[in-house]
């Protein structure tokens, strides 16, 4: 007999949205969870703050005789960006198809073994650096420079962008990027402007950005500000190269982003020893080791960073200044490992939204990356060389596909004074692995080498069964950095990281484990967190659910025969329970007002075949000049009034025909109109949000640009 028995009838149907990529509608959905006004205000504060800081820095440079810019032998430059606590100059310098195969990203492509047809279509990453050779054949018109003059076309930027998005149609596919049909937007990274640009772009639904340069080896004001941006833009994940010098502190010590280590090509992974860290003869050029000053696990993840073949802005050859739109080169360094992670994020976000009609939070992506990483290093667990291990895009994609069956991906919230728990059942054929991650509020600014924790909200993950409790990994901080670097990772209470991973190598098949998330102290208005679990039994006969579903948490449980409920659903909790014979709500089951609950009779119904159905997405391209050298700035008075309230006029004298377009900071064209033999054109963007836009006049001869401000 098939039945559903209940004492409380509070049933709400869950609606499903149509799947789409980073369309205007999806950006608006992301912005609903983004503190847009806070980020825009923050961006203006950053502009003023860093302009003042730059002014003081230039004064110090003059007093001490520090060069503001240093030319490197290969034609690149490193720029003065700060001073250390002991008054030494700090310079920002670039950190220079095997990557996709090594991580299993190629399994997601059209024709790949996973059958997903995921190539990065209509997915966009940002790069904050110099300008790019946008006309390079491998970009196929899918990249866009989002600033106006001055422009410095740079091979380093061109190479990193190619690692993300280069087409596989050239060089026999050897230079193919990780997300070969994606888009890349380039933003100038001059010192005074990068932070306010990051805040502005993050407010417009950005999912991931790449930063292939050294910025900070401590938790300084830059680290604080980047964490603040990600906290207010919870879907955004900032990815940084980990550094190439063994005598530096690891780059990018912010809590919420990802720092990437570089490793050699792994042709066949057979175990941790297959992963070899980058080492360039000379003794000092290798991935900068962690941990962070306060003992957090850094770097976070590893990817190929040796002999990475990608696009070049100039004819191949050290220091070449001959422009080229069809040249390629190999490069070494964490610079070329971090964009591989960014490309992977685009693919995984695309696959996730194909199934779920929404994107993952940045913390969810970070948990997914750590949970699915291949073990690297001489000891189990994380370390200061490889982080959580080698990026495994294929396993991460399968975790997304199997969510609700063999795996679990959940985004929840814990309130101060509450705890979160749920029962999970181990399959027993593979390790049971659970990871939580949360986007923590910005921590207190620290001096260099200050070991005090910068964690604000300290959550704790545990698995338990049969009176045994399993703890997360943490670095050995008994003797600070010395023990963290010399000794294997430990399992115990972690009060430093905002990501925690528990592993049970040999779980008991069919054993019910309780997953618990608690917190220490006060966590203010509450803390969003994400859970990823793998190694679950896909379908069990019976389930007894006793764990409460907290406010803002979401759960789905299934059984082939029966589910018995005696738990509580708090306000704004979401729960779905279904079983093949009956769902029984016994004494104690309570669904409070404003919770959403659905119980129905149906067995284990995960239809993974249906999830693999291809979702069509357009490949987005932009109009390109004949060459990047044919891009210049419109004269000062060519656009007026500027700033304006939304009606602008642009002078077109001397340009026989073409089109005028206005591009927003997210790359979306909000105005597009052709012209032929007319002296001026009116540009109407009255209905657009106040802010900064790029006006482009595109003709057969060149592209003319101008930054305009709508008040």
- Give the pLDDT score at 526: 94
Task: Give which of 215, 208, 137, 125 is closest to 169, Cα–Cα.
Answer: 137
- Give the pLDDT score at 394: 98
Residue 605 scores a pLDDT above 60? yes
Q: What is the largest CA-CA distance in the chain?
A: 87
Q: Are 658 and 632 a contacting pair, CB within 8 Å?
A: no
The CA distance from 128 to 148, in Å, is 14
**Given pLDDT bands bounded at 50, 70 and 90, which one contains residue 16?**
very low
- Give the pLDDT score at 538: 86
Tokens 């082939």 label which residue? 560
**Given pLDDT bands bounded at 50, 70 and 90, which one contains residue 150?**
low
333-371 burial by CB neighbour count: b if 16+ within 10 A, else e? bbbbbbbbbbbbbbbbbbbbbbbbbbbbbbbbbbbbbbb
Residue 99 scores a pLDDT above 80? no
Domains, the chain: 3-14+405-605 (2.60.120.380), 24-372 (3.40.50.200), 634-710 (2.60.40.3080)
- Give the pLDDT score at 380: 97
The CA distance from 62 to 252, in Å, is 28
**Lookup: tokens for 399:** 């975790």
Could you tell me where the beta strands, DSSP code E, fall in 63-193?
69-71, 77-83, 89-92, 124-129, 143-145, 183-188
DSSP, collapsed to helix, strand or coil, labels residue 136 as coil
pLDDT in tens, 627-685: 666 677 888 899 999 999 999 999 998 899 999 999 886 677 899 999 999 999 999 99
- Give the pLDDT score at 259: 95
Q: Are 298 and 250 a contacting pair, CB within 8 Å?
A: yes
- Residue 477: other Cβ atoms inside 10 A: 21
* Mean local confidence (pLDDT), 196-200: 88
pLDDT in tens, 231-268: 999 999 999 998 876 656 666 789 999 999 999 999 89
- Give the pLDDT score at 13: 26
Could you tell me where the beta strands, DSSP code E, fall in 158-278?
183-188, 208-211, 237-241, 258-263
Number of H helices, E strands in the chain: 11, 41
pLDDT in tens, 483-517: 999 999 999 999 999 999 999 999 999 999 999 99
Task: Give which of 219, 160, 217 is closest to 186, Cα–Cα.
Answer: 160
**Given pLDDT bands bounded at 50, 70 and 90, which one contains residue 89?**
confident
Q: Are 647 and 683 a contacting pair, CB within 8 Å?
A: yes
Chain-wide mean pLDDT for the chain? 87
Residue 214 scores a pLDDT above 80? no
Residue 6 scores a pLDDT above 50? no
**Given pLDDT bands bounded at 50, 70 and 90, which one contains residue 8?**
very low
Tell me whether strands 124-129 and 183-188 are parallel, antiparallel or unpaired.
Answer: parallel
- Give the pLDDT score at 606: 65
DSSP letters spanning 395-447: HHHHHHHTBTTTEEEEEEEE-TT--EEEEEEB-SSS-EEEEEE--PPP-----
- Give the pLDDT score at 589: 94
Please state the pTM of the whole predicted model.
Answer: 0.87
- Give the pLDDT score at 270: 95
Q: Are 577 and 546 a contacting pair, CB within 8 Å?
A: no
- Give the pLDDT score at 610: 54
Listed in sequence order, the residues at least 6 apart from 464 whose beta carbon sits closer than 8 Å to its beta carbon are 470, 513, 514, 516
* Mean local confidence (pLDDT), 59-88: 78
Q: Are 313 and 153 a contacting pair, CB within 8 Å?
A: yes
DSSP letters spanning 349-388: HHHHHHHHSSPPPHHHHHHHHHHHPBP-SSSSS-BTTTBT
Percentage of the chain lying above the pLDDT 90 cut:
54
Dihedral angle at the C-alpha atoms of 539, 544, 548, 553, nearest 10 degrees?
10
pLDDT in tens, 402-446: 998 899 999 999 999 989 988 999 999 999 999 999 999 999 999
Residue 520 scores a pLDDT above 90? yes
The CA distance from 85 to 72, in Å, is 25
Determine which of 198-202, 265-269, 584-588, 628-632 has the lowest per-residue pLDDT on average: 628-632
Helix, strand and coil percent figures for the chain, each rounded to 5 = 20, 30, 50
- Which residue would you say has higher pLDDT here, 486 or 576? 486
**Given pLDDT bands bounded at 50, 70 and 90, which one contains residue 626?**
low
- Give the pLDDT score at 711: 87
Q: Are 558 and 603 a contacting pair, CB within 8 Å?
A: yes
């Amino acid at each position: 007999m098939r039945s559903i028995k209940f004492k409380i009838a509070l049933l709400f149907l869950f609606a499903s949205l149509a799947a789409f990529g980073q369309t205007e509608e999806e950006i608006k959905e992301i912005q609903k969870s983004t503190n847009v006004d806070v980020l825009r205000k923050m961006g203006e504060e950053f502009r003023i703050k860093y302009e003042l800081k730059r002014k003081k820095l230039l004064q110090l440079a003059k007093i001490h005789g520090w060069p503001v810019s240093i030319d490197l032998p290969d034609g690149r430059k490193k720029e003065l960006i700060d001073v250390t606590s002991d008054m030494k100059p700090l310079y920002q310098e670039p950190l220079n198809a095997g990557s996709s195969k090594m991580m299993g990203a190629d399994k997601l492509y059209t024709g790949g073994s996973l059958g997903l047809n995921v190539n990065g279509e209509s997915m966009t990453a940002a790069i904050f650096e110099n300008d790019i050779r946008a006309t390079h054949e491998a970009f196929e018109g899918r990249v866009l420079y989002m600033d106006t003059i001055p422009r410095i076309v740079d091979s380093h930027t061109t190479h990193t962008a190619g690692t993300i998005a280069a087409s596989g149609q050239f060089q026999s596919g050897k230079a193919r990027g990780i997300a070969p049909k994606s888009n890349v937007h380039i933003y100038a990274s001059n010192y005074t402007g990068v932070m306010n640009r990051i805040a502005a772009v993050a407010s417009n639904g950005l999912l991931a950005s790449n930063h292939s340069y050294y910025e900070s080896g401590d938790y300084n004001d830059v680290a604080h500000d980047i964490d603040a941006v990600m906290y207010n833009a919870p879907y955004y994940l900032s990815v940084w190269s980990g550094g190439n010098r063994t005598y530096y502190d690891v780059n990018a010590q912010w809590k919420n982003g990802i720092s990437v280590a570089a490793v050699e090509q792994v042709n066949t992974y057979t175990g941790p020893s297959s992963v070899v860290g980058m080492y360039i003869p000379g003794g000092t050029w290798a991935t900068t080791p962690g941990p962070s000053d306060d003992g957090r696990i850094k770097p976070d993840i590893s990817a190929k960073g040796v002999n990475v073949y990608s696009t070049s802005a100039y004819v191949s050859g050290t220091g070449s200044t001959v422009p080229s739109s069809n040249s390629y080169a190999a490069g070494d360094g964490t610079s070329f490992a971090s964009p591989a992670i960014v490309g992977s994020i685009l693919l995984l976000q695309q696959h996730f939204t194909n199934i779920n009609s929404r994107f993952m939070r940045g913390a969810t992506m970070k948990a997914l990356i750590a949970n699915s990483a291949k073990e690297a290093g001489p000891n189990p667990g994380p370390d200061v060389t490889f982080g959580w291990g080698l990026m495994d895009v294929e396993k991460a994609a399968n975790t997304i596909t199997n969510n609700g069956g063999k795996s679990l991906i959940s985004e929840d919230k814990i309130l101060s004074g509450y705890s979160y728990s749920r029962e999970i059942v181990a399959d027993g054929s593979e390790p049971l692995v659970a990871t939580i991650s949360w986007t923590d509020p910005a921590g207190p600014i620290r001096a260099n080498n200050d070991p005090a924790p910068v964690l604000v909200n300290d959550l704790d993950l545990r698995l338990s069964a049969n009176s045994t409790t399993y703890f997360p990994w943490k670095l050995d901080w008994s003797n600070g950095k010395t023990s963290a670097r010399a000794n294997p990772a430990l399992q115990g209470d972690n009060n430093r990281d905002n990501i925690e991973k528990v592993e049970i190598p040999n779980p008991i098949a069919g054993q019910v484990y309780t997953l618990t998330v608690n917190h220490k102290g006060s966590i203010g208005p509450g803390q969003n967190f994400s859970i990823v679990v793998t190694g679950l039994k896909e379908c069990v006969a019976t389930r007894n659910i006793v764990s409460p579903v907290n406010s803002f948490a979401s759960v789905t449980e299934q059984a082939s025969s029966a589910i018995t409920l005696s738990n509580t659903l708090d306000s704004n909790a979401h729960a779905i329970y279904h079983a093949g014979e009956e769902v029984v709500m016994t004494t104690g089951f309570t669904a409070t007002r404003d919770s959403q609950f659905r119980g129905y009779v149906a067995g284990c119904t995960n239809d993974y075949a249906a999830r693999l159905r291809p979702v069509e997405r357009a490949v987005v391209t932009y109009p390109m000049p004949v060459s990047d050298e044919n891009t210049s700035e419109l004269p000062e008075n060519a656009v007026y009034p500027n700033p304006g309230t939304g009606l602008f006029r642009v002078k077109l004298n001397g340009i026989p025909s073409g089109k005028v377009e206005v591009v927003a900071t997210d790359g979306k064209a909000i105005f597009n109109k052709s012209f032929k033999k007319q002296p001026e054109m009116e540009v109407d963007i009255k209905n657009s949000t106040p802010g900064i836009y790029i006006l482009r006049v595109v003709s057969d001869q060149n592209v003319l640009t101008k930054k305009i401000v709508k008040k």
